[in-house]
Amino acid sequence: SAVPNKRRICRLHWVFAISAFTLTYGAAVTSRCNFVEFKNTDGIAEKGSITLHFGIWKYRSWTLADTASTDPSQIITMEACKDYPDHIEIDPSWRAARAFEVLSLAFVPFVLLLQLALRGRAALDPRSSMVWALEYPTLLFVGVLQGLTLRLLNSRACEDNVLVEELSRRESPAIGIVFKESCKMSSGGRVAICACVLWLATAVTSREAAKGKLNKSIRA
């Protein structure tokens, strides 16, 4: 029964690793313009909601189209992702989120190649504890990098967002739109959390697999 369990852990490890790899790049795509969001709190809220999206690198703007309409989809025209204007202050937490995203994207291919190399070395020398000792902290490290992109939630993109204030002040008087003062996590943030959890799960299964391999080599 021990052998099937070890095989199951190994399979889980690679499922987690491939899923984490995919979600890391998926998070980078979705979080570019859709990491946090602001929803309106009154005005036309009873007829529908308006959501403003902000990402680590860009934001999605909106303009009023037809203020006479009672359909929110007709009142608001959502625009494509845009670069943040020059006057927007990128505070330390925001810069940190950007840096950690870049580091995680750069580090992930190296992690997968390192795993393949370590697994090959372990197949040749199962008694090498150094091989297994390297994999666990490396996977843990990339999971932490991914998780630290959530620093955006503590930045001015989420709290006291100048663009939300500007857009509300410029466009909303005609129909009385008011947005929440603080943001809510959007799809990009949720994908980033999933990627972080999967990297940590990959690290845990790696450690369990290492224990099994080393115990087996010792008994042999």
117 compared with 69, residue with greater pLDDT = 117
| pLDDT for res 171 | 53
Give the residue among 191, 199, 213, 198 at the shortest CA–CA distance from 137.
Answer: 199
Looking at residues 135-160, what average pLDDT do you find? Answer: 91
How far apart (Å, rounded) are the C-alpha atoms in residues 78 and 60?
7
Question: What digits encode the pLDDT tens for the residues 87-113?
Answer: 899 999 999 999 999 999 998 888 888
Residue 175's identity, in one-letter code, is I
How many angstroms separate the CA atoms of 3 and 212, rounded? Answer: 9
Let me know: does 183 contact 161? Beta carbons within 8 Å.
yes
Percent of the chain whose pLDDT exceeds 70: 70
Among the residues of the chain, which ranges form H helices?
2-31, 72-75, 92-124, 129-147, 162-171, 187-219
Question: Are 186 and 36 in contact, with CB atoms under 8 Å apart?
Answer: yes
Q: Is the CA virtual torsion 128, 141, 16, 108 positive or negative?
A: negative
> Does pTM surpass 0.75?
yes
Half-sphere exposure for 16 (CA within 13 Å, toward CB) = 21
Is residue 17 packed enough to be buried (19+ CB in 10 Å), middle (13-18) or exposed (0-12)?
A: buried
Residue 145 has pLDDT above 90, yes or no: yes
pLDDT in tens, 47-60: 557 788 999 999 98
Could you tell me the two tokens for 69?
A: 């309409």
pLDDT more than 90, % of the chain: 33
Tokens representing 191 are 């994908």
